[in-house]
Every structure is written in C-alpha cells, then in structure tokens.
Amino acid sequence: MSADIDIDPDAVIRVAASMQDTSANSRKQFMLDDAQAAGEAHPRWLASAAGSQCVTAWRDRLHTEADEVEAAAEALKASANNYVTTDGVTAAALSGDAQWLQGA
C-alpha cells in the first residue's frame, strides 16, 4: 500500500511565517521579564528571593520556547525551499532526458 504525499511549499512557508510572527509577538508580551518592577508596580505582588528566582526560571523557559519555535519555523522554510529546488532540478533533468529521447 502506498500513500500519496502532496506538499504545498507555499503553505509550509506561510505556516512558518505565522509561527515566527506568533513567537515575535509573544516575546513582546512576556510579563515575566522583571519581577522587581512588577512588585513595585503592584505592592501586593512583592516577592521573596525564591519567588524572583521562580519568575526568572519561567521567563528563561519562555524565551527558550520562543527560540525553539523560531528555529522550527526556519527549518520549515528551509525544507519548503529545498523541496522547490529539488522539484526544479528534477524537472530540468527530466526535460533534458525527454529531449534526448526525442532526438534518438
């Protein structure tokens, strides 16, 4: 049993661009960048050193996640571009072979 695989490189590139936009927008909205500032702006939010360390750990994790999303988006774009390039090379080779066969 074989399965047909249909790849739409343009759709893959659009998804990758959407992933990058989402990641960039989420970076702008990270609320955990400065626990001290949050505590000063909202006095009931003042936290101990342990709380600040927790905020820092979560902030770092969110930034790592955003980096990973951006890397995945870049890999998707590269894959789609490679697919298009391979299709072009294959088409050119087949065209050359077809011309040779017509002349044989």
Read off the pLDDT of residues 84-104 as tens digits, 9 standing for 90 and up.
898 888 888 888 877 887 876
Mean pLDDT, range 2-30, rounded to an integer:
87
Does residue 76 lie within any of the structural domains? yes
Q: Answer yes or no: is pLDDT of 32 > 80.
A: no
Q: Which amino acid is at 50?
A: A
Does residue 70 lie within any of the structural domains? yes
Does residue 1 lie within any of the structural domains? no
How do residues 48-70 score in pLDDT, each as one tens digit? 677 778 878 888 898 899 999 99
Q: Residue 80: count other Cβ atoms within 10 Å of its Cβ.
A: 20
The separation between the first and the last C-alpha atoms of the chain, rounded to the nearest angstrom, is 36
Per-residue model confidence (pLDDT) at position 10? 92
Mean pLDDT, range 5-30, rounded to an integer:
88
Distance separating alpha carbons of residues 79 and 76, to the nearest angstrom: 5
Does residue 52 lie within any of the structural domains? yes
Does residue 16 lie within any of the structural domains? yes
Q: Residue 35: count other Cβ atoms within 10 Å of its Cβ.
A: 20
